[in-house]
Amino acid sequence: MIMTNVAAMTEPGYKVGLRNWLQERNSRMSASGDSLVERNNTAYLMAFLEANDDLFDHAFRASLNGQPSGSLGGPADSRVAVEKAARVLREEERRWTFGGGVPPAEDDRLPAFVTVERSLAHAPTRSHRIAIRAAWDTALDVESRAVHDLAVAVRSLRAEASDPSSRGIAADNFVETFSGAVIDATSRIFGTYGSSASSSLVSCAELAMEETPAKMMALAFRTREPMLDVGRVIEEIRRRLEVTTDSTVRASFAGDRWEVLFGGSSDGKVPSSGVVIWPLNGRNPDFQESARRATPLTGPGVPTAHVGLRCSSRPDGRLVMHLRDLKATLHELGHAMHHGLTASREPLRHGLESAGETEIDLLSLWLEWTVFDAGWGACALSAAGEPSGKGLVEWQGILRLEALKELPLRALVMELDREWLMHPESDYQDVWRQVTDSDPAIHASTYLEALHRLTWPIPVTRPGAEYGLFWAMSEVAGTWMQRHGSASHDQTPPAAWFGRILGNEPHQAPDPMKLISFLEQAVGADTQDPLASDKGNPMSSTREYPSDYIAAMLPARDPELTSMLRQAIVDEQLPPIQVDDNAAKLLECLTLLARPQLVIEIGALFGYSTIHLARGLKKGGQLISFEIDPRSAEIARENVSRFGLDDRVRISTEDAVTALSRMAPDSADLIFIDGAKTEYVEYVKAAFPLLRAGGALLIDDAFAGGSYAAHEGGEDDRLGESIRQVVGALAKSQRVTASFLGTEHGMLLAVKQGSDDE
């Protein structure tokens, strides 16, 4: 595997951030004997980067590193930098993962994106690649939006934390900002699935972003307090239990403990099972003893489970628990529920007379997830692309019996697959086997298998990665089904389309070729000759202009020039459509090289290019620059004089075409054309006769793909088309020798045939 030497790259801004982050990470990893670089596995390295929740932190730091010095560094800057960082990461992933062309070893537990990349590497045609990229980009966009939102939240937290006067409110603000960002991001992510249940949003956020469960729980409980009132927590649990089980649930404080009782009789007065929650504070240090004493408290014959709750008492008598203990407590409550329900045969009440242990297990586990872990099941359903509009409430309706076939299976696969099934010694292997072998519910086991295979190569550490791909595939599948006349997801259950993608081999990553052909159908791509060149805009290219690299290599801009730019663009509000710094240097080089006596420029604007052209002139050399806008021309004159160049520059406000038509033929050595794009034909016609043999035309924006069109009021590609015509004709002309110069917007250098000696 070819290793990209991260440290040896020359990086501006965000890349410095990335490198620092990796180095720091590596030094930490080597301390634990597991250096990423030592593993010499770039795919894994990037997978790690992608999979690690420190990515958020990285993105944030990248945003800081990406700040131009002296900038205000406000949220807008941060946003741009983070988006840029996310974009670059994406690019880097692509390049580094398969840059060497050597796919990683088969047995590496590679994340989903590597599978996609592998598909890309095998894609036979451009259409295939587009299809795969479309799917992948969808996934990554979700990611980058989340990164962006989080970075903004983290940024404001840190800013406040560094201000001692606001330290007290920083944490509160963070949770608030964070909550807002999370809800916003998750509702966007899940908007397509129509899930409106806030508990599922919380859970989705947790999946997508892996933020601390405590914060998520805080969100679920709509609190920003680190200490929670235990009574309130119990009441919340009771409420949720009642809603989700449709069973009467009573919770009461009985002197020194809480009793949560599940109704057994139809009026709920006779409990069928109970959970006793014991505060583990000063008053009840011996939980075991308390539990023993309390067993009969829920009533004779009522199976009861006991849970200890770490909490402390307030002077006003209230018991409070720390937010961070909540998740663990809820998890333990899940076990208690499990125990209570299993022993009481509570499921009988729900029409599950024939339920076996497996179903009861499943029900209990489901309760644990959906009730106590704030909507795991809802999340699983949404992620699985359930029919939109089938929100929490609706699927609760099918819970009583159907959930055993539908929901827990789906919720289970996420947890079992990742947490337990991977470990052969796990007890849950049995549960899994029973589910998959005995489940008669047609597509459920197929679905499980499919999902299992889909998520198989994904490391446990990063749920977001698999969901990203999962969502993308769901999207594409949805499109496919619409195209092919399937009215709804109901008619084509997920199992069918996963089956289509995955084939029948169990426990394997998706076959890249199957994925390709599925996606191909989904986007309706035509089969193309793989060797046929790309059609459409001739400027289309997958390669980006290395402007960051160039900027990092060139010396910093002369402060006087920066001040001039600021005055013209910020103070005078002239459009920022001057040549870029590298192109400006090129103009200077060309006049230095050609030693022209007469240079003509069409379009001075505020004189940025003018100054550079003039700087390269030797003694006696002259530059006539045309600028039709009087105010721009005036500013250009001031700037020329500011740089002490008045002796060799004349700025004229005459229309360039008219003026050129009056000038002596064969007199100019260099003519730089950078006026109105629509007039390029006229400029070239008028300028060409003025050139002496061996003189050169230099045409700016020759790549015809720049954003200048917008500045000139053009939304469409009319201006680009005009440039392409002129540049194409000129470059092909027998009367010149022409070459494109690779500035960001491109210049065409066309040297007139013949020589002065002829």
Ligand X SMILES: C[S@@+](CC[C@H](N)C(=O)[O-])C[C@H]1O[C@@H](n2cnc3c(N)ncnc32)[C@H](O)[C@@H]1O
The site for ligand X (CB under 6 A) is made up of 577-579, 602-605, 608-609, 626-629, 632, 655-657, 674-676, 679
Nearer to ligand X, 321 or 635 (CB): 635
Concatenating the DSSP letter of every residue in 373-392 gives TTSHHHHHHHHTTPPTT--H
CB of 78 closer than 8 Å to CB of 152 = yes
CB of 642 closer than 8 Å to CB of 666 = no
Nearer to ligand X, 304 or 610 (CB): 610
CB of 605 closer than 8 Å to CB of 627 = yes
Shortest distance, CB of residue 616 to ligand X, whole angstroms? 15
Residue nearest ligand X by beta-carbon distance: 603
CB of 616 closer than 8 Å to CB of 588 = yes
One-letter amino acid identity for 212? Answer: T
Nearer to ligand X, 617 or 628 (CB): 628
Shortest distance, CB of residue 621 to ligand X, whole angstroms? 18
Residues constituting the chain: 758
Nearer to ligand X, 334 or 607 (CB): 607
Residue 368 DSSP one-character state? I
What residues form DSSP beta bridges with 304? 274
Shortest distance, CB of residue 582 to ligand X, whole angstroms? 12
Nearer to ligand X, 130 or 663 (CB): 663
Shortest distance, CB of residue 659 to ligand X, whole angstroms? 8
What region does 307 belong to: left with phi over 0, alpha with psi -120 to 50, or beta? beta
Concatenating the DSSP letter of every residue in 8-30 gives TS---HHHHHHHHHHHHHHHHHH
HSE at residue 543, side-chain half, CA atoms within 13 A, is 6
Shortest distance, CB of residue 670 to ligand X, whole angstroms? 14
What residues form DSSP beta bridges with 635? none
Distance between CA atoms of residues 490 and 492, nearest Å: 5
CB of 372 closer than 8 Å to CB of 334 = yes
Nearer to ligand X, 262 or 606 (CB): 606
Nearest to 273 by CA among 197, 329, 333, 317: 333
Nearer to ligand X, 476 or 587 (CB): 587
Nearer to ligand X, 128 or 724 (CB): 724
Nearer to ligand X, 628 or 736 (CB): 628
Nearer to ligand X, 144 or 632 (CB): 632
Question: Please, is 55 exposed, middle or buried when counting C-beta atoms within 10 Å of its C-beta (0-12, 13-18, 19+)?
Answer: buried
Shortest distance, CB of residue 625 to ligand X, whole angstroms? 8
Place of tokens 């131009």: 68
Shortest distance, CB of residue 609 to ligand X, whole angstroms? 3
Distance between CA atoms of residues 163 and 168, nearest Å: 10
HSE at residue 433, side-chain half, CA atoms within 13 A, is 6
CB of 244 closer than 8 Å to CB of 396 = yes
Nearer to ligand X, 270 or 676 (CB): 676
Nearest to 399 by CA among 218, 243, 523, 611: 243
One-letter amino acid identity for 686? Answer: A
Shortest distance, CB of residue 581 to ligand X, whole angstroms? 11
Token pair listed for 552: 């990092």
Segment holding 613, helix H or strand E: helix 608-615
One-letter amino acid identity for 577? Answer: I
Shortest distance, CB of residue 715 to ligand X, whole angstroms? 18
Nearer to ligand X, 161 or 676 (CB): 676
Shortest distance, CB of residue 539 to ligand X, whole angstroms? 19
CB of 63 closer than 8 Å to CB of 78 = yes
Place of tokens 């974009």: 87
Distance between CA atoms of residues 127 and 461, nearest Å: 33
Distance between CA atoms of residues 205 and 518, nearest Å: 29
Task: Note the Cα 389 to chain centre separation in Å.
Answer: 26
Nearer to ligand X, 95 or 631 (CB): 631
